[in-house]
Amino acid sequence: MRKLTGTLALSILFISIFMFASSDQPASKLRADYDGLAMTPPMGWYPWNTFGQEPQNERLIKEMVEALLRSGMREAGYAYIGPDEGICFYRAEDGKLTTNLERYPSGLRGLGDYIHQRGLKYALYTDAGTLTCSKAMPGTKGYEFEDMRQFAEWRADYLKIDWCHTKGQDIVQTYTLLDEAQRGAGRPLVHSLCSWGVGEPWKWAAAVGHLWRTTGDICEPGKADWNSAIEIVFANEKLFAYAGPGHWNDPDMMIVGMPGLSEAQNRSLFSLWCLMAAPLIAGNDLRQMSESTRQILTNLEVIAVDQDPFGFQGHIIKKDGQVSIWGQKKLFDGSQAVLVFNQNNSPSEVTISWEELGFSREASLYVRDLWKHQTNGPITRGLSLTVPPNDVIMLRLSSSRDFPLPPIVSADTYLLSLRGKSSRPEKLSASLTIHNAGTVDLPLWKVHGSPPSWLSVKITKRGKNQMVTNQINTAGLSSGYYHTTVRLDNTEPISKRPMSAFYYDVEIEVK
């Protein structure tokens, strides 16, 4: 009887893990069902890995914004950017979070506006306990609702919430309360949990957030560490069943391009992050990026694997000594991504059969090398490859010669700010453009819900891009300030998967 109960309990556990884990149909409600965010892994840049707390300030973040734009990373999908721990706010006597104006003279709202106007999204950092990790800044404990309202006022689009100084706090209850406070604050944002795997967030956090750290920090600030990154890779790999659209395992911000790593190591890490559908938060100094790093971070064929609408986390299907073959990453067009990672200090010969990848032996497949940008085939049975030392070969296999890229979306601005010129009724207009760096054309974006009476939104196609025209009519409005956040929705047409909701702000000042 005991045995039976045990078996039954085990099967229930497996069934529930499977249901929850499946990218197709998570059993419980997701936070992303509520806000439509992070349907593919978030992409952006965060300062911690290179800078630690110093010298994080407004100037540094703005320089990084400009460097990101110059590098072409925005068009490749990188969007979220902002300060990590580094005294950007303090708690004033009245309990309110207040900008540290010495470091951020435009205020944290001013920095957010700048970031939005440059076509990027605003990321901020806080902690679930009484203090942030180095005790430099206040945590949210006891101020959850006030603080989330403040982050909404600063117009954050992404919030990383650390787990330092949380003695005695229940982790599920704490992050659930923070989720409730975020929803209550009324501005949808990506909730990034940072408990380094403490409390096994992959088992419960999809209901309250969009991504969770699975391990400790990837490096000490400024000290990229290949071995620690590889340990993290293998720990994160095991959790593949828990990831999917709107809920991601986060193996930490990337170290690609930091001093001390070779080009092959950078390429390997980036490929591994993408095959695992990991959030792509760059951590290198974008102002001094080499051309090789820039090309790695903006390789659209590899990014397309990460940003695939099905959101499967690929994992190891075979490991022989220091050589691992990674697959089980079915992509939106029916193709599959495959990665071979050679940790030897010498080249390794590898043979892969179509059968071990889940294809039939006689399948006739085209093979696309995602780093060399070359297609071979059609080929039957399998492949033999020579992988250089500490390097990868990343492939996409398909029965068709076509290797479409899913939509990779960016915008020229996320903030339209208008001022009326007269007290008489006026018609104002402002537009933004949604770019798509993928090859799959998107249907027209649709406005979610109804905008306020003073705003009408029209969307038109411009080739693969779309123009969002906003007509504002001030008739009937008394003088003052008006603001709304518009949400647009779309569906990727091949997989029929929802795109991440697209949010932008419109504000007007009426005379």
Any idea which residues carry the catalytic annotation?
162, 217
Closest CA to 187 of 150, 233, 139: 150
Q: How far apart are CA 497 and CA 440, in angstroms?
A: 13
Nearer to ligand GLA, 119 or 129 (CB): 129
Q: Which two tokens stand for residue 232?
A: 């993290």
Q: How far apart are CA 163 and CA 301, in angstroms?
A: 35
250 binds ligand GLA (CB under 6 A): no
* Minimum distance of ligand GLA from residue 244's CB (angstroms): 23
* Binding segment (CB under 6 A) for ligand GLA, from list 126-134, 172-180, 406-414, 471-479: 126-134
- Bridging pattern class, strands 97-99 and 89-91: antiparallel
Among 32, 40, 42, 48, binds ligand GLA (CB under 6 A): 48
The number of CA neighbours under 13 Å toward the Cβ of 9 is 6
Q: How far apart are CA 87 and CA 115, in angstroms?
A: 19
In the 3-class helix/strand/coil scheme, how is 426-443 assigned residue by residue?
CEEEEEEEEEECCCCCCC
7 binds ligand GLA (CB under 6 A): no
217 binds ligand GLA (CB under 6 A): yes
Nearer to ligand GLA, 209 or 438 (CB): 209
Among 11, 134, 399, 460, binds ligand GLA (CB under 6 A): 134
* Minimum distance of ligand GLA from residue 296's CB (angstroms): 22
* Minimum distance of ligand GLA from residue 217's CB (angstroms): 5
| Phi, psi (deg, nearest 5) at residue 242 | -90, -10
84 binds ligand GLA (CB under 6 A): yes
* Minimum distance of ligand GLA from residue 105's CB (angstroms): 23
Nearer to ligand GLA, 231 or 412 (CB): 231
Count of residues near ligand GLA by CB under 6 A: 10
Q: How far apart are CA 24 and CA 47, in angstroms?
A: 34
Radius of gyration of the chain from Cα atoms? 23
Q: How far apart are CA 207 and CA 377, in angstroms?
A: 44
User: Interaction with ligand GLA in 311-370: which residues (CB under 6 A)?
Assistant: none
162 binds ligand GLA (CB under 6 A): yes
Nearer to ligand GLA, 84 or 113 (CB): 84
* Minimum distance of ligand GLA from residue 53's CB (angstroms): 7
Nearer to ligand GLA, 220 or 349 (CB): 220
Closest CA to 242 of 81, 32, 471, 21: 21
* Binding segment (CB under 6 A) for ligand GLA, from list 55-63, 94-102, 127-135, 501-509: 127-135
Please report where in the chains the tokens 């659930």 appear, as a residue.
Answer: 176
Please report where in the chains the tokens 């905008």 appear, as a residue.
Answer: 451
* Minimum distance of ligand GLA from residue 231's CB (angstroms): 15
Among 194, 289, 350, 397, binds ligand GLA (CB under 6 A): 194
Please report where in the chains the tokens 């696309």 appear, as a residue.
Answer: 368
Among 133, 241, 317, 494, binds ligand GLA (CB under 6 A): 133
In the 3-class helix/strand/coil scheme, how is 335-370 assigned residue by residue?
CEEEEEEECCCCCEEEEEECHHHCCCCCCCEEEEEC
Q: How far apart are CA 72 and CA 78, in angstroms?
A: 9
* Minimum distance of ligand GLA from residue 3's CB (angstroms): 42
Applying CB under 6 A, the residues found at the interface with ligand GLA are: 48, 84-85, 132-134, 162, 194, 196, 217
